[in-house]
Amino acid sequence: MTDTGDEFLVRPPQDELPDDIYAEDGSVRSDFLVLVGAAIADRDTLFLRQRVARLHESELGDLIEAIQPEQRLALVRLLGDDFDLTALTEVDEAIRLQIVDQMPNEQIAAAIGELDSDDAVYILEDLDHEDREEILAKLPFTERVRLRRALDYPESSAGRRMQTEFVAVPPFWTVGQTIDYMRDEDDLPESFTQIFVIDPTFKLLGTVDLDRILRTKRQMKIETIMRETSHAVPAEMDQEEAAQLFEQYDLLSAAVVDENDRLVGVLTIDDVVDVIQEEAEEDLLRLGGVGDEELSDSVVETSRSRVPWLAVNLVTAFISASVISLFEGTIEQVVALAILMPIVAGMGGNAGSQTMTVTVRALATRNLDIHNAWRVARREAGVGLINGALFGTLVGVVAAIWFRDVSIGGIITTAMLINMFAAAMAGITIPVLLHRSGTDPAVSSAVFVTAITDTTGFFSFLGLATWWFMSS
Amino acid sequence: MTDTGDEFLVRPPQDELPDDIYAEDGSVRSDFLVLVGAAIADRDTLFLRQRVARLHESELGDLIEAIQPEQRLALVRLLGDDFDLTALTEVDEAIRLQIVDQMPNEQIAAAIGELDSDDAVYILEDLDHEDREEILAKLPFTERVRLRRALDYPESSAGRRMQTEFVAVPPFWTVGQTIDYMRDEDDLPESFTQIFVIDPTFKLLGTVDLDRILRTKRQMKIETIMRETSHAVPAEMDQEEAAQLFEQYDLLSAAVVDENDRLVGVLTIDDVVDVIQEEAEEDLLRLGGVGDEELSDSVVETSRSRVPWLAVNLVTAFISASVISLFEGTIEQVVALAILMPIVAGMGGNAGSQTMTVTVRALATRNLDIHNAWRVARREAGVGLINGALFGTLVGVVAAIWFRDVSIGGIITTAMLINMFAAAMAGITIPVLLHRSGTDPAVSSAVFVTAITDTTGFFSFLGLATWWFMSS
C-alpha cells in the first residue's frame, strides 16, 4: 500500500509522527495539517483524540487558526469532551467567537467548569449577556459566584485578569501544618508559586514564596517568614499599571485585593506577559495609524477601522495643499520648486517621525519624565540642527547642479535646516503635550507631526523662493 | 525650626517620609530628589544608608537616573558596601558604563560576588576586556568559572541571560529527602520556582515545580513526580526564540543545557520579560527609522545613528523628484497639479504604512504564515480598493470644486484609487519578501513602501493629467 493515489488516506501510527507540529518558520507543518484535515473529513475521532487532544493548549490554538474555517467547528465537535477550551484563549477573537457561538451552551458550561477562573472569564467576557447568563446558571454555586465577581470588575482591570483560585493560610500556622494541608487538600490551584497569609476576614497580611517554605524548618510559624510588602494589586487597577508593578519588582504573582484589602484573587506573570505584549502591540499599531484590528477581520471591518486615521490625514493634506496654493504664481515661473518641494517636506517628515518614535516609546516606558525632558529636548534640537545642516547642504548642492542655479541650492538648504529643526521640536513637543493632557501619544502624534513638517516644509521653501525670485 | 530659609536643610526622620518614592506620573518625587541631593552634598551617609540603600534595586536604578550626572558617582561612593550593584542592571547603558568605569575594580569585584550570576554577567559583558579579566581574577574559583562559562556564550543567547545557580537532585531521592536537603543547604539560589532532576553526569532528566513537591507525600520518589517534557533551552539559542518558548508554554523558568544536554543554568521569566520588552521596543523604533539608541546618548551619537535612515530616504526622495520632473511641462501649464500632487502621494503613504505596520507586527508574532498570507493579501487588496475609491471620490469632488474643473477631479480620483491599491500591495508584499529573505522587515520596509507610494502617486497623477490635458 502506498501513500499516494489510494482511496483511503492512511495515517501513520502515533509513534511515527514527529514530535514537533511546527515547521522551521514557526508555522504549523503542512503535512500535519493534511493529516488533521483528512481525519476531520473521515470523522476519525481515535486519531484526533490521540494526536490532537493531547497537544498543548497553545499548539491546539495555532492548529485551529491554521485549518480551514469550516473545519474548526467540526474539529471541536469531534473532540467532544476531550476538547480543551483553554485553546480558545490562544486564538484570534473573531475565531473564538465563531466557535463559541456555535457550541451548545451545555458543552461550554461543562468545559468552563474545568478551566482556571482567569481562562473562564476570558472566554465568558466576549459572549453576549444572554448566553453568558445561561452558561453561568449551569455552573455550581461557588464557581458561579467567583466568576461573576471577576466579571463585575471593569474590562482590562486586574480583577478581570485574576485567578480566583489560591492558597491562603492563617499566620499562626507552622510550616509543617501548611505543608500537611497542601498534601491533603485536593482542591488546590493547578499551579502556584506563592501562598497568601490572611486573617479570619480574608484581609491580606503577607505572602510567602514556595521556596521560602521549602527551606524553612517545620516548626517555624508562617508569620515569621512571610513578607509584608507584597505589592498587592487593587482589583480595580488597570492591567497595564499592574503589569508595570510586575516588571519593576520582578514579581511572579501578586495578590489582588478588593476595596477593603480583602484577598479576592491572584494575578500571575503569564497573564501579565500577555498584557505586556498587547500593550507593546497597541503602541506599534497606533503609531502606524491602525486601531484594534485582528488578522481575521473582514475586508469591510478592516476598511472601516482604518478610515478615521486616513480622514484626519486628509484634512492635514488639504491644509498643506492650501499652503502650496499661496505660492501658485512662483511655481508657475520656477517649476523646479514643484519638483523639489516634496524633498523638503519628506525629509522633515522622516526626521520628525524619528524623534516622535523615540519620544512615544520613552513616555510609554516612563523613561521620559520631568527630570530629563529638558535635556532630551535640547538634544533633539541639536540633532535637528546638525542633520538639517548636513542634509540641507547635500540637497542644496545637488539641486544647484541639477537646475544650474545656485540660488535654488541656497534656498533649499535654508528651508531644510528650518524644517528639520521644526521636525525635531514637533517630534518631542507634541507627544509630551498629548501625554500631559491625558491622551495616548501613540494615537495621534504622527498626524500632528506630519502636519507640521509638511506645512513648515512647503511654507519655508516656497516662501523663501518667492521672496528671492519675486523681489529680485 | 521651619523647613524654608534655614541654613541647614533638615531631613525628616525615616518614619515621616512617604513610603512611595514615585509621584503620580511615575517619575521619582521631586521632594525626594531634593532630600537625596542635599544628603549627598552633606555626605550624610546615615540618611543615605537608611533611606536609599534600602530601596528596591529598580527604585534605586530610577533614582540614579533621575539625579544629576555628577551626583551619581558620589552616591555610589557614599553608599560604599551598602550599594546594591543590581541597581545598575536597571539603568541606561551609558549611565551604567559611566559609573562602573569610575568604580575601583576591587569594589566591583566585591559587589559582583553578591549578585546572582545573570546580573553579574549583565554588568561584566559591557566592560572592556582588561577590566573584566581583572575583576574575574579577584573572584573565588567556582564563581569565576561559572561567570566565564556564561560570558563564553554569544551575546543575546540564552547562555548569556541564564542564572548558573539552581537546585538539582537525583531521580531516586524522595520528596522528603529533597525537602530536608533544601532545609539544610545554605547555598541555594536567592529564589527559585522549580528544581531539576539530573543524572550523575549532570544530564537533565526532568523538572519538578515547587508546588508539586509541596503537595506530594514525603516517601514518594522524585522520578515519579517529575515532568519530562521540560522545554529545555539550548544555551546557544537566541534569547528571542527562548522568549517565544516561555510565551507559548507559559513557563516560569526553563533549564538551559549545553550541546551534550547537560544542565548548565536556568533561564527565568523576569529576564524573559525584559527580552520581550526589548524586542517589542526594537520593532517599534526600527519602524520609526531609529536604531539602537538610548535616551542618555549624546547629540553627536544620536545624530550619527539617525543618518543612515535619512540618507536612504533622501535617495528615494530624489527618485520621486525625478518622476515629477518628467512632467515639468504639464505642471507649468496646470499649476493645480503641483498643489494637489502631495495629497495623492501622502494619502498613499498613510494607507501603505497602515498595511505595513499590521504586516510587520503579524510577522514578528508569527501570526502571518503561509497558511493565511494569501487571505490577508486579498483582504488588504480589498481594503486598498474600498478606501481608495472612498477617499479618491472625496478628494476628486473637493478638487473639482476648488479648481472649477471636473477633469482634475476625475484625474485625482483615478490616481488615488491606483495609488492606494499599490500602497496596500506594497505594504504587505515588501515586509513578507524581506522576511523571507532573512532580513528584519521592521528595519527597511518603511523606506521601500514610501518609495513606491510616492513614485506611483506622482506618476499616476501627473501621467494621467499629461495624457488628458496635453492630448486634448
% residues pLDDT > 70 (chain B): 95
Q: Do B387 and A298 touch (CB under 8 A)?
A: no
Average pLDDT over residues A267-288: 86
Of B295, B318, B346, the CB nearest to A313: B346
Residue A252 and residue B252 in contact, taking contact as beta carbons nearer than 8 Å: yes
**Which residues in chain A have Cβ-Cβ distances shorter than 8 Å to B56?**
248-249
Size of interface A-B (CB pairs under 8 A): 329
Q: Do B287 and A288 touch (CB under 8 A)?
A: yes
Res. A11 pLDDT band, cuts 50 70 90: low
* Domain final residue, candidates A245, A268, A291: A268
pLDDT at A153: 93
My answer on whether B310 and B449 are in the same domain is yes
**Which residues in chain A have Cβ-Cβ distances shorter than 8 Å to B55?**
none
> What distance in Å separates the CA atoms of residue B135 and residue A346, rounded to the nearest whole number?
50
Condensed to tens digits (0 to 9), the pLDDT of residues A182-208 reads 999 888 888 899 999 999 999 999 999
Q: Do A351 and B306 touch (CB under 8 A)?
A: yes
From A7-16, A357-366, B322-331, the region with the lowest mean pLDDT = A7-16
Res. A10 pLDDT band, cuts 50 70 90: low
> What distance in Å separates the CA atoms of residue A203 and residue A197, rounded to the nearest whole number?
9
Q: Do A354 and B290 touch (CB under 8 A)?
A: yes
Give A 100-119 residues with CB within 8 A of chain B. none
From A32-41, A109-118, A382-391, B406-415, the region with the lowest mean pLDDT = A109-118
- The tally of CA atoms less than 13 A away on the side-chain side of residue B39 is 26
Res. A7 pLDDT band, cuts 50 70 90: very low
Q: Is A145 on the interface with B (CB under 8 A)?
A: no
pLDDT at B1: 40
The CATH number of whichever domain residue B254 belongs to comes to 3.10.580.10
My answer on whether B141 and B174 are in the same domain is no
pLDDT at A17: 52
Is the confidence at residue A135, as pLDDT, over 80?
A: yes
From B63-72, B194-203, B399-408, the region with the lowest mean pLDDT = B63-72
pLDDT at A290: 87
My answer on whether A304 and A348 are in the same domain is yes
Average pLDDT over residues A230-256: 89
Residue B313 and residue B322 in contact, taking contact as beta carbons nearer than 8 Å: no
My answer on whether B76 and B186 are in the same domain is no
- Region label for B122, one of left (φ > 0), alpha (ψ between -120 and 50) or beta (otherwise): alpha
pLDDT at A8: 45
Q: Within a domain: residue A293? A: no
Domain count for chain A: 3
Q: Within a domain: residue B255? A: yes
Is the confidence at residue A1, as pLDDT, over 50?
A: no
Q: Do A277 and B277 touch (CB under 8 A)?
A: no
Is the confidence at residue B472, as pLDDT, over 70?
A: no
As to burial, measured by CB atoms within 10 angstroms (0-12 exposed, 13-18 middle, 19+ buried), residue A8 is exposed
> Dihedrals φ, ψ of B55, to 5°?
-65, 155
Average pLDDT over residues B37-55: 90
| The three three-digit cell numbers of residue A177, written as one number | 501544618
Res. A248 pLDDT band, cuts 50 70 90: confident
Is the confidence at residue B159, as pLDDT, over 90?
A: yes
Q: Within a domain: residue B340? A: yes
> What distance in Å separates the CA atoms of residue A130 and residue B14, rounded to the nearest whole number?
56
Q: Within a domain: residue A290? A: no
Condensed to tens digits (0 to 9), the pLDDT of residues B350-388 reads 999 999 999 998 888 778 887 788 889 999 999 999 999
pLDDT at B3: 43
My answer on whether A138 and A36 are in the same domain is yes
Mutate: best of A250, A251, A445, partner B, most B CBs <10 A: A250
* Domain final residue, candidates B114, B130, B156: B156
> What distance in Å separates the CA atoms of residue B275 and residue B282, rounded to the nearest whole number?
10
Q: Within a domain: residue A9? A: no
Give B 18-57 residues with CB within 8 A of chain A. 25-28, 30, 33, 56
| The three three-digit cell numbers of residue A55, written as one number | 497537544
pLDDT at A102: 86
Question: Integer distance in angstroms from the first to the last C-alpha of chain B?
Answer: 91
The shortest C-alpha distance from A374 to chain B (Å) reads 12
Which chain B residue's Cα is nearest to A374? Answer: B295
% residues pLDDT > 90 (chain A): 50
From A77-91, A313-327, A360-374, B386-400, the region with the lowest mean pLDDT = A360-374
Q: What is the mean pLDDT of chain A?
A: 89
Pairing between β-strand B263-268 and β-strand B253-257 as defined by DSSP bridges: antiparallel
The shortest C-alpha distance from A54 to chain B (Å) reads 13
Condensed to tens digits (0 to 9), the pLDDT of residues B240-276 reads 889 988 988 888 899 999 999 899 999 999 888 888 8
Which chain A residue's Cα is nearest to B285? Answer: A357
State the DSSP code for B82: G
Domain coverage including residue A151: 14-158
Residue A105 and residue A131 in contact, taking contact as beta carbons nearer than 8 Å: yes
Mutate: best of B284, B319, B435, partner A, most A CBs <10 A: B284
My answer on whether A419 and A455 are in the same domain is yes
Which chain B residue's Cα is nearest to A450? Answer: B346
Is the confidence at residue A18, as pLDDT, over 60?
A: no
Average pLDDT over residues A439-454: 89
Of A250, A273, A342, the CB nearest to B321: A342
Pairing between β-strand B194-198 and β-strand B204-209 as defined by DSSP bridges: antiparallel
Res. B10 pLDDT band, cuts 50 70 90: low
Q: Within a domain: residue B162? A: no
My answer on whether B90 and B124 are in the same domain is yes
**Which residues in chain B have Cβ-Cβ distances shorter than 8 Å to A249?**
56, 58
**Which residues in chain A have Cβ-Cβ distances shorter than 8 Å to B379?**
297-299, 302
Is the confidence at residue A9, as pLDDT, over 50?
A: no
Is the confidence at residue A5, as pLDDT, over 50?
A: no
Give B 160-189 residues with CB within 8 A of chain A. 179, 182-183, 185, 188
The CATH number of whichever domain residue A365 belongs to comes to 1.10.357.20
Of A284, A314, A371, the CB nearest to B347: A314
My answer on whether B42 and B113 are in the same domain is yes
- ipTM exceeds 0.90: no
My answer on whether B128 and B21 are in the same domain is yes
Q: Within a domain: residue A78? A: yes
Q: Is B199 on the interface with A (CB under 8 A)?
A: no
Res. B291 pLDDT band, cuts 50 70 90: confident
My answer on whether A261 and A180 are in the same domain is yes
Average pLDDT over residues B304-317: 92
The shortest C-alpha distance from B248 to chain A (Å) reads 6
* Domain final residue, candidates A104, A133, A158: A158
> What distance in Å separates the CA atoms of residue B428 and residue A74, rounded to the nearest whole number?
31
Average pLDDT over residues B208-220: 93
pLDDT at B39: 92
Q: What is the mean pLDDT of chain B?
A: 89
Buried/exposed code over B9-19 (b: 16+ C-beta within 10 A; e: otherwise): eebeeeeebee
The shortest C-alpha distance from B134 to chain A (Å) reads 31
My answer on whether A140 and A192 are in the same domain is no
Average pLDDT over residues B90-97: 86
Q: Within a domain: residue A5? A: no
Give, in degrees to the nearest 5, the angle at Cα A282 between A276 and A284.
105
Q: Do A215 and B395 touch (CB under 8 A)?
A: no
pLDDT at A371: 77
Average pLDDT over residues A268-273: 88
My answer on whether A306 and A393 are in the same domain is yes
Residue B159 and residue B256 in contact, taking contact as beta carbons nearer than 8 Å: yes
The shortest C-alpha distance from A10 to chain B (Å) reads 23
The CATH number of whichever domain residue B55 belongs to comes to 1.25.60.10
**Which residues in chain B have Cβ-Cβ distances shorter than 8 Å to A281?**
280, 361, 365
Is the confidence at residue B431, as pLDDT, over 60?
A: yes
From A23-37, B8-22, B310-324, B330-344, the region with the lowest mean pLDDT = B8-22
Q: Do B306 and A193 touch (CB under 8 A)?
A: no
